[in-house]
């Protein structure tokens, strides 16, 4: 096999992994909505089931990433950073999203969540007191203009507008929480490594989810019909663990920029699956709004050559 053929194969595999990861992450909202439709299960119980199903995978990841005498020893400050990442990136982002999906459709949820790169730009500029570049301003205008179109289209169709506003606000809070996680994760990943950071962050999140369940729900709430267990397992494996591993492999093979471009198919996949599997509406205005959101997000996620004028 020549070097060129090997590179082409790596690139092809990377693109496939990125597409499969986008599909897996997109399926999460569909699986959650299917669970809500099948059985009146609350968000905390459903998330607890998902995390319990994923716990063996998290433990295996933590075991693989454990100290072998050469890794950086964990200090008190590291545990504080890991706790912050567990709270923002895996706990708050998840519970707010599950709550929001009780009130809005899967397509709108995925579009709102997909705003997180623009929130990283806004929060990063605010925290570092730097001006927002021209390209970023255009990206923000397109993204939030697209969300406004999609939201207004859903608002026109909604039977209870207050519920739609509440659900959208909860999912937007999830996107903000994930953006805060991304802003804080860089230094921790550089110090501890991506695998160890992810493993401990997910375990901390699992502990928080289970503590919330124990404080708010009876243990009998975990007794659900078998289809709910099946959906929770699918969320754990196909919309949590596998997409995360595939995403990491894709970035290693083809780079974050190309992965971001392929990942932009995620909201479109969710909208399509929402129409086919859930019977959700898809109007021309919604699709236009989705196109604007994707364009804006790609503007801030793909690499660019900045000039002094920016």
Q: How confident is the model at residue 47 (pLDDT cuts 50, 70, 90)?
A: very high
Contacts of 143 (CB under 8 A, 6+ apart): 115, 118, 292, 293, 295, 296, 297
Q: How confident is the model over 282-308, as a mean pLDDT?
A: 75
pLDDT-based confidence at 8, cuts 50/70/90?
Answer: low
Mean pLDDT, the chain, whole residue set: 84
Contact yes or no for 26/266 (Cβ under 8 A): yes
CA-CA distance, 228 to 232, in Å (whole number)?
A: 6
∠ CA(124), CA(24), CA(39), 5° rounding? 105
Average pLDDT over residues 247-252: 76
The CA distances from residue 130 to 124, 143, 310, in Å, are 8, 21, 12
State the average pLDDT over residues 186-193. 79
- Percent over 90 (pLDDT), the chain: 35
Name the most confidently modeled range: 90-94, 166-170, 276-280: 166-170
- 192-239, pLDDT tens digit by residue? 877 788 888 889 999 999 999 999 999 999 999 999 999 999 999 999
Quote the CA–CA distance of 92 and 119 in Å, as a whole number: 16
Task: Examine the pLDDT at 82 and tell me if it is beyond 50.
Answer: yes
Q: What is the pTM of this model?
A: 0.85
Lowest-confidence range among 24-28, 59-63, 65-69? 65-69
């Amino acid at each position: 096999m020549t070097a060129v053929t090997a590179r082409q194969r790596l690139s092809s595999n990377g693109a496939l992994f990125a597409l499969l990861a986008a599909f897996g992450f997109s399926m999460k909202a569909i699986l959650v909505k299917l669970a809500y439709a099948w059985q009146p299960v609350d968000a905390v119980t459903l998330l607890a089931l998902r995390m319990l199903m994923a716990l063996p995978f998290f433990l295996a990841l933590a075991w693989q990433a454990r100290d072998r005498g050469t890794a950086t020893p964990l200090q008190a400050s590291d545990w504080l950073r890991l706790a912050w990442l567990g709270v923002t990136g895996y706990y708050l982002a998840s519970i707010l999203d599950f709550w929001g999906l009780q009130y809005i459709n899967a397509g709108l949820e995925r579009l709102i969540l997909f705003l997180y790169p623009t929130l990283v730009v806004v929060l990063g500029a605010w925290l570092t007191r730097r001006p927002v570049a021209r390209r970023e301003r255009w990206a923000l205008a397109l993204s939030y203009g697209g969300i406004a179109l999609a939201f207004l289209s859903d608002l026109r169709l909604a039977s209870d507008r207050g519920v739609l506003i509440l659900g959208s606000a909860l999912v937007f809070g999830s996107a903000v929480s994930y953006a805060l996680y991304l802003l804080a994760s860089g230094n921790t990943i550089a110090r501890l490594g991506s695998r160890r950071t992810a493993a401990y962050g997910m375990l901390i999140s699992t502990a928080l989810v289970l503590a919330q369940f124990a404080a708010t729900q009876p243990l009998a709430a975990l007794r659900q019909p078998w289809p709910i267990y099946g959906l929770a397992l699918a969320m754990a494996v196909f919309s949590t663990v596998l997409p995360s591993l595939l995403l990491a492999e894709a970035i290693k093979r083809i780079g974050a920029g190309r992965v971001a471009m392929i990942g932009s198919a995620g909201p479109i996949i969710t909208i399509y699956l929402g129409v086919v599997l859930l019977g959700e509406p898809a109007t021309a205005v919604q699709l236009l709004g989705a196109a604007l959101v994707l364009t804006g997000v790609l503007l801030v996620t793909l690499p660019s050559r900045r000039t002094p004028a920016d």
